[in-house]
Structure 1
Amino acid sequence: MNKLTKAAIAGAAGIALLLGGAGSLALWNATDTVNAGSITTGTLEMTATAGSWTSAPALWVPGDSATYSATVDVTATGDHIKGTLSIDATTVTLPSGVTLALTIAPTSGVNANGDGTFDITGAGNYSIPVTVTATFDSGADNTSQGQTIDLSGLAFRVDQHA
């Protein structure tokens, strides 16, 4: 091999070595920490008290309805907290033709919106009167005869929303 070819090969190898190491070349940098304090989250808790049925028929037939009245105690901490109160539909099984509807009564510090939602005016403890209306649709079919509807597991649910 002549000197020019050897020099070209050596030069190419040197450039390849330099370029291969370019990815690991570190530029200067620095980091520092600052005491930014801490953030504390709020809470949303609920306890439902046992209630009672009013004028519930012993044996229901299509067209019957009854109401269940109870109190739901909500403890809320946090700025600008709002919530939605509902019946937890996963806790009861209803036959065709039977529906449950929740009504929330306005009370101090709680604005009931008529659609199962309420706005809490700030952090605090709230006792919210609720009514569940069970209705047996007058157009229910024959499959609803002789059914037992177990409402012993009826549960309420409260979810925080923006």
Structure 2
Amino acid sequence: MSTTTTSTSGKKSAVKGAVAAAAGVAVLLGGAGTFALWNQSGSIGTVGTQTGALSATFSDQTTWKDVTDGADNDIADIAAFRMVPGDTVVGTTTVDVTATGENLLVDAGLDAGAANLPEGVTATVLLSDGTDSGAALELEGSNEGTLHRLTADVTLTFDPDTEGSENTAIDLTNVKVDLQQRLHGAAGV
């Protein structure tokens, strides 16, 4: 009669190997969530680019004229001038706008909203860049930067039919030329 002896040490080794393999898989899955796969990455070019800019220098010198009823009289000191109903005065100043960017479009116009003008007093602007003029202009930029020298004529008119508004200050620092970038395809000036 033959005797067969079964060794349990072989089964224990197989179980230990399976446990070790499962632990290795769990470590891989727990760390990154997936198995590591081959990958590559590279640069999209050898140089960079940069963003454009919109800058402006507003002159601190404004010359004023009294143009009431067709007159053309210089106003030496606008702070000492007192407007009355029927008056029209024009202030002329310059704005140097530098538009840097291939697709940069800038709308330039008057922002008198914060001026808090007295009742009956209105402000309008005529902008000119030497080739075009109007209440608003469209300015284009370039990669090198395009300089636009604007002349701004701001006209203040006091309606002759206005009652009241006596001894009311007109804060001219809040009558401003507004420069606003506009997206291509958007309605402009």
TM-score of the pair, normalised by structure 1: 0.68
The residue aligned with 1:79 is 102
Whether the 8 Å CA contact 2:110–2:135 is kept in 1: the answer is no
Aligned partners of 2:38 and 2:135: how far apart in 1? 56
| Secondary structure of the corresponding residue to residue 33 of structure 1 | coil
Change (3 A) 1:46 1:31: same
Of 36, 55, 64, the match for 2:66: 55
The residue aligned with 1:126 is 148
2:40 corresponds to 1:40: no
Whether the 8 Å CA contact 2:121–2:156 is kept in 1: the answer is yes
Greater mean deviation of Cα atoms: 44-53 or 149-158: 149-158
| Secondary structure of the corresponding residue to residue 98 of structure 2 | strand
Q: Name the count of aligned residue pairs.
A: 137
The residue aligned with 1:141 is 163
TM superposition outliers: structure 1 runs of 4+ over 6 Å? none
Shift of 1:72: 0.6
| Secondary structure of the corresponding residue to residue 32 of structure 1 | coil
Change (3 A) 1:35 1:106: closer
2:89 corresponds to 1:66: yes
Whether the 8 Å CA contact 2:99–2:141 is kept in 1: the answer is no
Identity %: 26
The residue aligned with 1:26 is 34
Q: Deviations over 1:57-110 (max 9, x none)?
A: 8332222111100111111211132212233436532112111111112415xx
The residue aligned with 1:150 is 171
Q: Deviations over 1:5-56 (max 9, x none)?
A: xxxxxxxxxxxxxxxx9xx863757452333443311111001112111117
Q: Deviations over 1:108-127 (max 9, x none)?
A: 5xx44x23123337432221
Shift of 1:136: 1.1
Aligned partners of 2:177 and 2:116: how far apart in 1? 14
Q: Which amino acid aligns with 1:132?
A: V
Query: Where does structure 2 lack aligned partners over 5 or more consecutive residues?
Result: 1-25, 69-80, 184-189
Aligned partners of 1:56 and 1:107: how far apart in 2? 23
Aligned partners of 2:107 and 2:137: how far apart in 1? 5
| Secondary structure of the corresponding residue to residue 70 of structure 1 | strand
Aligned partners of 2:113 and 2:82: how far apart in 1? 24
Query: Where does structure 1 lack aligned partners over 5 or more consecutive residues?
Result: 1-20
| Secondary structure of the corresponding residue to residue 63 of structure 1 | coil
TM-score of the pair, normalised by structure 2: 0.60
Higher normalized contact order (CA 8 Å, seq sep 6+, divided by chain length): 1
Higher Cα Rg, which structure: 2
